[in-house]
Structures are given as structure tokens and as C-alpha cells.
């Protein structure tokens, strides 16, 4: 496997794993702060991020590279409020999108078209994830801050449609 692409994919293992831990920390905060619906959405998001990390691990190994399992930075344990938390989710997803785009760019300049093809799934996934977080933020902005409970209930059924 092309060394530069292998390094970037290994870096992405850490980023996807951190995403999983970050959403786990957020889910736990939401659970402790009376938002079972948001907590459930975030727990399932955390699972998805773990799957993304596994996709990179398996892909690197399948291509003859060596997947590295990194140490992860501790995610924050406290959040100002639920709106702030989801703004953080969106910010993080934009960071992940930029990171995937960067690897995609590198695969084109390195002519590693198999990895470009592998990354197509992630490019589409990021569009979907950003849209679904935008949707939650829009709804949160429409609710009075002291009456988020109906939205929390709705989110319980909304979650990811995947
Ligand atoms: Fe939500 O980020 Fe993974 O890919």
C-alpha cells in the first residue's frame, strides 16, 4: 500500500475512534442531564463511528498495510447545554469531512484509485451525517430553551435512518 496513503488512513483510525469516544461522552452527559432521546441518538452515533474506524483498520490490512491502534485523547465530560453540544457535534463532523477530503485528494495525486474508491462511501456518509446534525440544530433553535422535552422524545424515534 502507498506509504503516504497508509499514514493518512492510520491517522483517520484515530479520528474515527476519537469521534466514537466523543459521542459516547456526549451520550453519557445527555443521559445524566435528562435527555434520554438525545442520549440514544448519540449512543448509536458512537457505534457508527466505531464501525467507521473498523472499516479503516480492515481496509489498511486488506491492502497489505499495517493498521495502527492508537491511544485516544480523553473527550470532554461536560457541556454547557444541549444546543451547545450539538453545535460541537457539527463542528466535529465538519472537521472529519475535511479530513476525509484531504485523504481523497492525496489518493488522486498518488494515483491510488482503489483508496479513492474506498473513500467514496465516507464522502457520502459525511453529507448524510452533517445534514442530520443540521436538522437537529434547526429543530433545537425552534424550541424554547426550557421546553426541549418534546424534541427529545421525537429524536428517540428519529435517530439515524440507517
Ligand atoms: Fe461521523 O464521521 Fe465517521 O466518518
> What's the confidence (pLDDT) of residue 139?
93
Of all protein residues, the one whose alpha carbon is nearest to atom 1 of ligand 1 is 93
> What's the confidence (pLDDT) of residue 159?
60
> What's the confidence (pLDDT) of residue 149?
85
Pocket-forming residues, ligand 1, beta carbon under 6 Å: 16, 19, 49, 52, 93, 96, 122, 125, 129
Q: Which of 10, 28, 32, 9 is nearest to 20 (CA)?
A: 28
Phi, psi of 131 (to 5 degrees): -65, -40
**Nearest-angstrom CA–CA distance, 130 and 101:** 14
Buried b (16+ CB within 10 A) or exposed e, 30-64: beeeebebbbbbbbebbebbbebbebbbebbeebe
> What CA dihedral angle connects 125, 128, 129 and 132, to 10 degrees?
-160
> What's the confidence (pLDDT) of residue 64?
97
Domain assignments of the chain as residue spans, ordered by start: 3-161
pLDDT bin (cut points 50, 70, 90) of residue 162 is very low
Percent of the chain past pLDDT 90, that is, above it, reads 88
State whether the Cα torsion 161-139-82-87 is positive or negative. Answer: positive
Of all protein residues, the one whose alpha carbon is nearest to atom 3 of ligand 1 is 49
pLDDT bin (cut points 50, 70, 90) of residue 144 is confident
> What CA dihedral angle connects 48, 102, 93 and 60, to 10 degrees?
20
Q: Give the predicted TM-score (pTM) of the model.
A: 0.93
> What's the pLDDT tens digit per position in 71-120?
999 999 999 999 999 999 999 999 999 999 999 999 999 999 999 999 99
Look at the domain 3-161 and name its fold: Ferritin (1.20.1260)
> What's the confidence (pLDDT) of residue 158?
67
Residue 115 near residue 56 (C-beta atoms within 8 A): no
Q: Which three cell numbers stand for residue 23?
A: 459521542
Most informative mutation of 45, 129, 130 for ligand 1 (most atoms within 8 A of CB): 129
Amino acid at each position: 500500500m502507498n506509504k503516504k496513503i497508509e499514514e493518512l488512513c492510520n491517522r483517520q483510525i484515530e479520528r474515527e475512534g476519537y469521534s466514537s469516544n466523543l459521542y459516547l461522552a456526549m451520550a453519557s452527559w445527555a443521559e445524566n442531564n435528562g435527555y434520554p432521546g438525545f442520549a440514544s441518538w448519540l449512543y448509536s452515533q458512537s457505534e457508527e463511528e466505531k464501525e467507521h474506524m473498523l472499516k479503516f483498520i480492515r481496509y489498511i490490512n486488506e491492502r497489505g498495510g499495517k493498521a495502527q491502534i492508537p491511544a485516544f485523547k480523553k473527550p470532554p465530560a461536560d457541556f454547557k447545554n444541549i444546543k451547545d453540544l450539538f453545535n460541537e457535534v457539527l463542528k466535529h463532523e465538519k472537521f472529519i469531512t475535511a479530513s476525509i477530503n484531504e485523504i481523497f485528494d492525496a489518493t488522486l495525486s498518488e494515483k491510488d484509485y482503489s483508496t479513492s474508491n474506498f473513500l467514496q462511501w465516507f464522502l457520502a456518509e459525511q453529507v448524510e451525517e452533517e445534514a442530520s446534525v443540521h436538522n437537529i440544530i434547526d429543530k433545537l433553535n425552534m424550541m424554547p430553551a426550557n421546553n426541549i422535552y418534546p424534541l427529545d422524545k421525537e429524536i428517540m424515534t428519529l435517530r439515524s435512518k440507517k
